[in-house]
């Protein structure tokens, strides 16, 4: 049994868009090792996205391919969490082209990886055998992403006054976006109902535990939940996704028949 | 040798195994795909030989090269076949043979620990980064010293981490448990 296409696209789009964002550090990392680490992270995420798009394309049929799904859909078709598409800039940055903030990157990777270790672990039992196989592989990779981003969060939080302030500002900005994790969308409900998806609400306690333990170690404070709940996974995105897609899709759209 | 119309014989399967046994990883040319656990099976299918490979890291760019290498090798020896990519069971460094680990070490890459004994390859999800957890000891492939330190979790390829030996001062790659 295949998972609903929209659900597969949700998982794939999360990986692709965050992979694209993290790839923005390629050639711009604060130190060589982190440049390589973030490129590796992107490679894993884009690899996961490819497997998921291939599966979604087969499920959807009608001539869809991994490339049509990644390069020829527009903003309202994307099903990623809004969290994944935000720029690496701090809250008060004047423009989206402001400086990349490493604390933002690490805080986001931490919040997303903390969720995905739980999601992929559960999806190993999906009734969709291909999704279960992809989950087993992705779990191995996201463990390394969590370890990497968690280490940095602790290092920045429990570091200098400046790194602490930047890490706290990043969390204050990003934590509210994680409310979207728990607001069940129709495609998540459909996937849960036919046994191919998972009950996200059941993961919330474990996720809180991972996050709170790391924040305590990092001497950071968790901001209160509340306020606007983002709706990216239902296709209603922030203003930032259009810019991500414009850059990511321009080559494929300029040369639609191109092959390597 | 098979003709294009007939089904592959047991002899074809056997000769394909012999050929493919010699095929090495494009990034690490001292170990074979079979030793790494990437080459899973060679079998007779309806449309010729089926060479079953399994991807390592999801985004590993070497997988495309590996598929091309397999096809080219079969073709060069007149064998009709294609590559089948199999996702499950997920590839693990635990499949790597002891011979392969020795070859990696001799090549300057510290071989992976067993997944169960390492922090990140472990089955436990929530607790893997427990506070105060001792980092695993990775011996230097050059001098054998256990006095090494991790420079970066991520290295020149998706499957490796960067380490440094504090005894002989040489940097080296560690093949991460997966």
Local structure of A123: helix, strand or coil: helix
Tell me which residue in B88, B125, B158 faces A133 most closely, judged by beta carbons.
B88
Sheet harboring B109-110: ordered strands across?
B109-110, B171-175, B160-165, B148-152
Task: Verify whether the Cβ–Cβ distance A47 to B162 is below 8 Å.
Answer: no
CA distance B122 to chain A (A): 9
- Residue A227 within a domain: no
Output the domain CATH number for residue A81. Answer: 1.20.1260.10
The reported pLDDT for the residue numbered B124 is: 44
pLDDT beneath 50, residues of chain B: 1-3, 122-132
**B37 C-beta neighbours (distance < 10 Å), count:** 18
pLDDT beneath 70, residues of chain A: 91-98
Check CB contact of A46 with chain B, cutoff 8 Å.
yes
What are the structure tokens assigned to A257, written together? Answer: 């028949």
- Residue A259 within a domain: no
What are the structure tokens assigned to A221, written together? Answer: 């404070």
Long-range CB contacts (within 8 A, 24+) of B37-41: B37/B91, B37/B92, B37/B93, B37/B95, B37/B96, B38/B66, B38/B91, B40/B86
Using a CB-CB cut-off of 8 Å, the residues of chain B touching A43 are: 57, 59-61, 158
- Residue A226 within a domain: no
Q: What is the pTM of this model?
A: 0.92
Do residues A254 and A31 make contact, with C-beta atoms less than 8 angstroms apart?
no
- Residue A178 within a domain: yes
> What span, in angstroms and rounded, lies between the C-alpha atoms of A68 and B21?
37
Q: What is the ipTM of this complex?
A: 0.85
Task: Verify whether the Cβ–Cβ distance A51 to B91 is below 8 Å.
Answer: no
Per domain, the residue ranges of chain B are: 10-85, 98-175
Number of domains observed in the structure of chain A: 1
* Closest CA in chain A for residue B154: A37
The reported pLDDT for the residue numbered A186 is: 97
Q: Which of A8, A32, A27 is nearest to A138 (CA)?
A: A8
Using a CB-CB cut-off of 8 Å, the residues of chain A touching B151 are: 33
- Residue A225 within a domain: no
Task: Verify whether the Cβ–Cβ distance A147 to B119 is below 8 Å.
Answer: yes
The secondary element (H helix, E strand) that includes residue B109 is: strand B109-110
Q: Measure the CA angle with vertex B81, ends B75 and B83; round to 5°.
A: 105
Give the model confidence (pLDDT) of B106-127 as tens digits.
999 999 999 875 555 544 444 4
CA distance B90 to chain A (A): 6
Domain extent, residue A70, equals 5-90+99-220+232-254
- Residue A260 within a domain: no
Check CB contact of A128 with chain B, cutoff 8 Å.
no
Q: Which CATH number does B10-85 carry?
A: 3.30.300.130
Check CB contact of A209 with chain B, cutoff 8 Å.
yes
Maximum distance among all Cα pairs of chain B, rounded to whole angstroms: 63
The reported pLDDT for the residue numbered B2 is: 45
Residues of B with CB under 8 A from a CB of A: 55, 57-61, 87-92, 119-121, 125-126, 128-129, 131, 151-156, 158, 162, 176, 178
Task: Verify whether the Cβ–Cβ distance B59 to A147 is below 8 Å.
Answer: no
Task: Verify whether the Cβ–Cβ distance A141 to B129 is below 8 Å.
Answer: no
Check CB contact of A67 with chain B, cutoff 8 Å.
no
B-facing residues of A in 138-197 (CB < 8 A) are 138-141, 143-144, 146-148, 150-151
The reported pLDDT for the residue numbered A27 is: 93
The reported pLDDT for the residue numbered B123 is: 44
The reported pLDDT for the residue numbered B134 is: 59
Task: Verify whether the Cβ–Cβ distance A133 to B178 is below 8 Å.
Answer: no
């Amino acid at each position: 049994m295949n998972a609903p296409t929209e659900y597969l696209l949700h998982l794939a789009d999360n990986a692709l868009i965050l992979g694209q964002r993290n790839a923005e550090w390629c050639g711009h990392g604060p130190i060589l090792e982190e440049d390589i680490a973030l490129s590796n992270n992107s490679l894993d995420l884009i690899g996961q996205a490819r497997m998921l798009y291939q599966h979604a394309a087969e499920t959807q049929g009608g001539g869809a391919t991994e490339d049509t799904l990644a390069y020829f859909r527009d903003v309202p078709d994307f099903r990623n969490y809004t969290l994944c598409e935000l720029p690496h800039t701090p809250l008060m940055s004047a423009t989206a082209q402001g400086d990349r903030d490493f604390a933002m990157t690490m805080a986001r990777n931490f919040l997303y990886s903390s969720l995905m270790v739980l999601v992929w672990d559960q999806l190993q039992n999906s009734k969709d055998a291909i999704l279960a196989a992809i989950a087993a592989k992705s779990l191995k990779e996201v463990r390394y992403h969590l370890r990497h981003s968690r280490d940095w969060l602790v290092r920045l939080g429990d570091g200098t006054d400046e790194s602490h302030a930047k890490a706290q500002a990043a969390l204050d900005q990003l934590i509210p976006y994680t409310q979207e994790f728990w607001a069940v969308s129709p495609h998540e409900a459909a996937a849960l109902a036919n046994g191919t998806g998972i009950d996200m609400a059941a993961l919330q306690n474990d996720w809180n535990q991972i996050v709170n333990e790391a924040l305590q170690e990092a001497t950071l404070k968790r901001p209160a939940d509340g306020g606007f709940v983002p709706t990216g996974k239902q296709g209603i995105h922030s203003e930032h996704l259009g810019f991500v897609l414009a850059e990511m899709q321009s080559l494929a759209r300029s040369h639609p028949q191109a092959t390597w | 040798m098979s003709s294009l119309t007939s089904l592959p014989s047991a002899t074809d399967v056997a000769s394909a195994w012999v050929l493919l046994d010699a095929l090495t990883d494009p990034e690490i040319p001292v170990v074979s795909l079979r030793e790494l656990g990437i080459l899973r099976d060679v079998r007779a299918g309806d449309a010729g030989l089926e060479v079953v490979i399994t991807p390592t890291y999801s985004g590993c760019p070497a997988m495309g090269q590996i598929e091309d290498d397999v096809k080219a090798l079969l073709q060069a020896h007149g064998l009709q076949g294609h590559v089948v990519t199999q996702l499950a069971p997920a590839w693990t460094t635990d499949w790597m043979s002891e011979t392969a680990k020795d070859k990696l070490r001799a090549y300057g890459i510290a071989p992976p620990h067993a997944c169960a004994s390492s922090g990140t390859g472990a089955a436990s999800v929530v607790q893997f980064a427990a506070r105060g957890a001792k980092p695993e000891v990775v011996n230097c492939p050059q001098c054998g010293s256990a006095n090494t330190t991790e420079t970066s979790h991520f290295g020149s390829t998706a499957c490796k981490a960067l380490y440094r030996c504090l005894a002989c001062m040489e940097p080296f790659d560690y093949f991460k448990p997966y």
